[in-house]
Structure 1
Amino acid sequence: MTQTKLGSLIEAVINVLIGFGINFSANMLIFPVFGWSISAGQNLTLGLIYTGISVARSYVVRRWFNSKLKKAAEQLAARAAKQGAPNGQ
C-alpha cells in the first residue's frame, strides 16, 4: 500500500511539530548552559525557519521512499507473474 501525497504531508507536519516542541524546550534549557542568551521570540523565529526546512525535507524523503517501495513491489509482482504461481495457485 502506498501513502498519498496528502498523507505524507500530514505525517511530515505532525512529526516536525513534535520535534519543534522538543527543540524549543531544549533550546531554552541548553543555550544558557553555553552562555548564549535567546529570547522566546528569537527561539520561536529560529524554530519556525528550521521547521519549514524540516517539513520540506521530511516530505521529500517520504515521497522518495514511497516511490522506491512501490517500484520494488511492482518488480516483485512482475517476477512472480513471469514465473507463474506454483502448485496451480
Structure 2
Amino acid sequence: IDNNLWLGRSQWGDPLYCGSFNELRIYDTALTATEVAANYLAGPDVLAEPAVPCAIHVVGDRNKDCVVDFVDAAVTADEWLVQSLAD
C-alpha cells in the first residue's frame, strides 16, 4: 500500500496540529504485545540538544540554526518541489 503519512497537517480541511511529537516509530509489521510492552518500558529515545538553541522562535529557520539564510530557502524549495510533484 502506498499512502501519504501526514504529521501535523491533513490533506483535508482539518486544523493544523499545534504541538510536538515525543516519538514516532513506523514498523513494517505488527508488533507483538511483548514488543509493545518492551518499547513502553524502554521509554523514548534520548536525543542530543542542539548546540545553540534559539532563544526565540525564528520564522523561516528550517534547519534550526537560529539564522534565516539560503540554506533555509533551499530546504523550503526542496519540500515545496517534492510536495508539488506528489500532487
The structure with the largest helix share of the pair is 1
Larger Rg: 1
TM-score by length of 1: 0.26
TM-score by length of 2: 0.27
